[in-house]
Structure 1
């Protein structure tokens, strides 16, 4: 399916910021659930047909203290000859777990859950990015908040984008693999992204608003 809003936003951001504008994030609401999207507008992956794609990673953000639910799905984003971004809305093994997070009752009356509608809504909300770039770009910070790490902790609390030359650690890869599966762990490794964890339930639901940040090299 086409991703018209994300296409427009990506073109706008890249035209203005060039290589500093290839990675950005935004938030979306679906009912009572909050999600954070990360678009890495770089061809870092190969699909089953050997075509390069840019990953769009969408993760569930816990908003209640003590919420241990985790959900992450990576969409393989391609560009057609008209410069339109597109991706399959198919969720595979992530389908039922997303329904559970959204609280969708299989026996409830009315239209059923449509993965295409979910992706359409998530990419539409990228329109918030150009008007407030400082809130959506990957910022540089000197340190992670106290009590937040990449190997220890039971609560997922966001993502950390590592600098060029510094990738995801083996321990973080193993933790990501255990909690999110091979697909997400592989994308994180290729994109130099580490998952962040904490034992403080307060930080688990407060941190993700600014969780995708890059530590400054010492």
Structure 2
């Protein structure tokens, strides 16, 4: 591992540079019983990835707040490092938006899919494209990359470090203060709030989220609740 790859993380977090998918690596390490606080990360010329292992002490339904929390941590980190004209927003299901276009996403996996069970582990990770996927980016105007949005001076290694710091700060606030501050911060960053969207076969107005960040979707006279646990990827 080169000096550039040896990232510095705050207390309680520790890093592993990997050459494979960082999210998959973190999930495998969690499955084998690694300690919470592992940050697996991978940076190459085209992509930056990082994934954080949690050991929740609350049921999965509440622990899923770590998905929007890590998204807020990412926005806080990139918001400081990017030029001021760069806007970063978050999709409810983990997508990252930069200047309105999709720019990577967050993923989530846990040891259980039961919302009422306390999971042995939970992994939240992101993939961020650094350069366009093709040499014809105009063909996919709804997709973008970090460097294509005026962020060529942003170091992906420094961004991962900053994401870990900001996320840990939000974890501490969530532990000590509850979810109100996180809800407030996330609502200001949420993509498509108040808009007509389609999710899980339902089309309606995205009204907001409940206490556990479940989506409230208004369809005519009916308000549907779509739990955030529905975005979990199945554990191996």
TM interval, shorter chain, is 0.3 to 0.5
What TM-score, normalized to structure 2? 0.35
Which one has a larger percent helix, Structure 1 or Structure 2?
Answer: 1
